Chains A and B, each alone.
Chain A
Amino acid sequence: MKDRFKTLITFLDPKSNIAESYRVLRTNLQFSSVDKKLKTIVVTSAAPGEGKTTNVCNMAVTFAQAGNKVLLIDGDLRKPRIHRVFHETTEKGLTLAITNLVNYKSNIVHSEISNLDLMLSGPIPPNPAELLASNNFKALLEILEKTYDYILIDSPPVSPFTDAVVMSTICDGVILVISSGMVDKDVIIYSTNLFKTVKANIIGVLLNNLDVKSRSNYNYYYYNYLYRYYYDNDDSINKKSKRKQKRAAKKKRKKTYTYGQRGSLDDELRKKEFMEFLNTKEDEESK
């Protein structure tokens, strides 16, 4: 069992620091959606290899462990990987469900983790973006939303493919996974701008592979953590990036940094919530 699910750290070791940070992520998501419940969430990254699949799988496990009925969809029709993580060997999946809506149920498998169902990719279409933009996909999500509390969708990276952007327009929110120090900041800005142009709701950025030694202030996050940035007006992305850039140059550290986008809640409230969250964590650490 342990060997089979080596990437599902939340399942193997729910008490670990890593699992803890996934739980923080879960509660943050719940808090960030008071007025409207976030049900369908697309998880993507700017460039390939930043750890989307590992993160989306662990998120799904964490959500399911909290008693939510969760469906994890492999929407990465360029390079599906979820079947490898869960060792599923079915040929069925998303594309079959989209092309044959009536039989959508036969394309869902129950995972070995309770409350967590999977919809794998299915056959890979020649034109994934087109299929994901179809009305059938929209209809499928509407049907699924009735059965599940959360639907998490893995997707291809944004900078080479538009699939995630297409999906974001019919989903409630987007989470961007960013591998610390791996991707140039311009690529990240390019990606977030893509989502902004289609008015998608970026609910957060997940910072992966953070080098904990060089960031002593944050070392309790250990592995990854939902990093939110709050700002006062729409131009602030550039301001912040310049400030960040200077700081980064000063410290002679890696280029990458993160930011999120203002959501539906009042800014002051969010700021307060964020600061409280930081404080409590620091208190815990000092004990």
Chain B
Amino acid sequence: MKYVDIHTHILYNSDDGSESIEQSLEILTIAKKHHVNSICFTPHCFINNPPDMQEVIAKTNILKEKINNNINSNINNNINLFYGCEIMIEDTLPSFIKKNEEMCLGEGNYVLIELPMFNYPIYIKEVLYQTRLKGFIPIIAHPERNSHIQLETTKHIKDIIVNGYIQINAGSLTGRHGELAKKTALKLVKRNLVSFVASDSHNDKGYSHMDEAYNIYRELKGKEKTDQVFFYNPYKALKGEYIEQVEINYIKKKQKA
């Protein structure tokens, strides 16, 4: 099976990920060995300190060229590269993304949004709704790593799925991010709330989890649904195509008599 990876930090000198062009090329070589078909570079973006997108585009083009010409690399030329951003949630995100459309993933209108690790943004519902009203579709990156969501998954996850999609990390499924993250990730998978699995790789170790995560997922949900979240949905997101939303269930309240 091939993978489409929409969440990586392997564009050199862009954030806390890859540190040199050689390292980036090396990681791409490893990715190719693990059957990664397409990769989207998503450097971290803080709204008060955003990355220079012209630079991101330029670096992506350099890597594309290197791969195509096979200079300094033994990668076959059939790995597709895209760029976008992983944006830290902020109440001003909707208007920010409207002004910076090139931060959407690939060629579409999907936005990768990161939550803080130890805080829960109470404005998340409003932000996701306003983002949708502006014509963009939010993807929440690894919610299983947020400590509040780990503790109260059902309560918080409803805020996300009404207007957004969920991306979990391959490393969460395999236990790299700890037991709680693993437990939460499995819970989300079992309830069919996950739309994407991505590597979130910062270095060459990121892709060693991909196959294991794929097998864990397939064990739980079968091949068809697994291919959906590892390949078809991410591909559609990069192309800006419609992805079927997860089923929303009514909030259970005691019926008044």
**Cβ of B249: which chain A residues have Cβ within 8 Å of it?**
79
**Cβ of A90: which chain B residues have Cβ within 8 Å of it?**
242
Stretch of A23-31, A63-71, A119-127 lying at the B interface? A119-127
**Cβ of B242: which chain A residues have Cβ within 8 Å of it?**
89-91
> CA–CA, A151 to B242, complex, Å?
27
> CA–CA, A99 to B129, complex, Å?
12
Query: B125 on the interface (CB 8 Å rule)?
Result: yes
Q: How far is the CB of B7 from chain A (nearest CB, A)?
A: 22
**Cβ of B162: which chain A residues have Cβ within 8 Å of it?**
124
**Cβ of B132: which chain A residues have Cβ within 8 Å of it?**
91, 122-124
CB interface residues, B 132-148, toward A, < 8 Å: 132-133, 135, 137
Query: A157 on the interface (CB 8 Å rule)?
Result: yes
Question: Given A48-B250, A78-B248, A91-B135 in contact, is the A159-B126 Cβ separation under 8 Å?
Answer: no
**Cβ of B250: which chain A residues have Cβ within 8 Å of it?**
48, 78-79, 156-157, 160
Query: B253 on the interface (CB 8 Å rule)?
Result: yes
Query: A184 on the interface (CB 8 Å rule)?
Result: yes
Interface size class of B (residues with CB under 8 A): 10 to 19
**Cβ of B251: which chain A residues have Cβ within 8 Å of it?**
78, 160
**Cβ of B135: which chain A residues have Cβ within 8 Å of it?**
91
| Cross-chain contact B137 with A187 (CB below 8 angstroms) | no
Query: A96 on the interface (CB 8 Å rule)?
Result: yes
Chain A's interface: helix, strand, loop or mixed, by majority?
Answer: loop
| Cross-chain contact B129 with A126 (CB below 8 angstroms) | yes
| Cross-chain contact B137 with A184 (CB below 8 angstroms) | no
B137, B163, B250, B251 pick with most chain A CB within 10 angstroms: B250
**Cβ of B133: which chain A residues have Cβ within 8 Å of it?**
95-96, 99, 122-123
| Cross-chain contact B125 with A159 (CB below 8 angstroms) | no
Which chain B residue shows the least CB distance to A156?
Answer: B250
Query: B256 on the interface (CB 8 Å rule)?
Result: yes
Query: B100 on the interface (CB 8 Å rule)?
Result: no
> CA–CA, A123 to B248, complex, Å?
13
Contact string, A171-191, partner B, CB cutoff 8 A, digits 1/0? 000000000000010110010
> CA–CA, A156 to B251, complex, Å?
11
| Cross-chain contact B253 with A160 (CB below 8 angstroms) | yes
> CA–CA, A230 to B87, complex, Å?
60
CB interface residues, A 54-81, toward B, < 8 Å: 78-80
Chain B's interface: helix, strand, loop or mixed, by majority?
Answer: loop
**Cβ of B256: which chain A residues have Cβ within 8 Å of it?**
159, 187, 190
Query: A47 on the interface (CB 8 Å rule)?
Result: yes
Q: How far is the CB of A98 from chain B (nearest CB, A)?
A: 10
| Cross-chain contact A79 with B248 (CB below 8 angstroms) | yes
How many A-B pairs fall under 8 Å by CB?
49
**Cβ of A184: which chain B residues have Cβ within 8 Å of it?**
255, 257
User: Chain A: how many interface residues by the 8 Å CB criterion?
Assistant: 24
| Cross-chain contact A123 with B163 (CB below 8 angstroms) | yes
| Cross-chain contact A124 with B163 (CB below 8 angstroms) | yes
Which chain A residue shows the least CB distance to B255?
Answer: A159
**Cβ of B255: which chain A residues have Cβ within 8 Å of it?**
47, 159-160, 184, 187
Contact string, B234-257, partner A, CB cutoff 8 A, digits 1/0? 000000001000001111010111
Q: How far is the CB of B161 from chain A (nearest CB, A)?
A: 9
**Cβ of A123: which chain B residues have Cβ within 8 Å of it?**
129, 132-133, 163
**Cβ of A96: which chain B residues have Cβ within 8 Å of it?**
133
Q: How far is the CB of A100 from chain B (nearest CB, A)?
A: 8
Which chain B residue shows the least CB distance to A189?
Answer: B257
| Cross-chain contact A187 with B257 (CB below 8 angstroms) | yes
| Cross-chain contact A126 with B125 (CB below 8 angstroms) | yes
Which chain B residue shows the least CB distance to A183?
Answer: B255
Which chain B residue shows the least CB distance to A190?
Answer: B256
**Cβ of B163: which chain A residues have Cβ within 8 Å of it?**
123-124
A95, A122, A126 pick with most chain B CB within 10 angstroms: A126
> CA–CA, A64 to B126, complex, Å?
37
Q: How far is the CB of B115 from chain A (nearest CB, A)?
A: 17
> CA–CA, A125 to B242, complex, Å?
20
27 residue pairs bridging A and B, Cβ less than 8 Å apart: A47-B255, A48-B250, A78-B250, A78-B251, A79-B248, A79-B249, A79-B250, A80-B248, A91-B132, A91-B137, A91-B242, A95-B129, A96-B133, A122-B132, A123-B132, A125-B129, A126-B125, A126-B129, A157-B250, A159-B255, A159-B256, A160-B250, A160-B251, A160-B255, A184-B255, A187-B255, A187-B256
- Spell out B's residues near A (CB within 8 Å): 125-126, 129, 132-133, 135, 137, 162-163, 242, 248-251, 253, 255-257
- Spell out A's residues near B (CB within 8 Å): 47-48, 78-80, 89-91, 95-96, 99, 122-126, 156-157, 159-160, 184, 186-187, 190
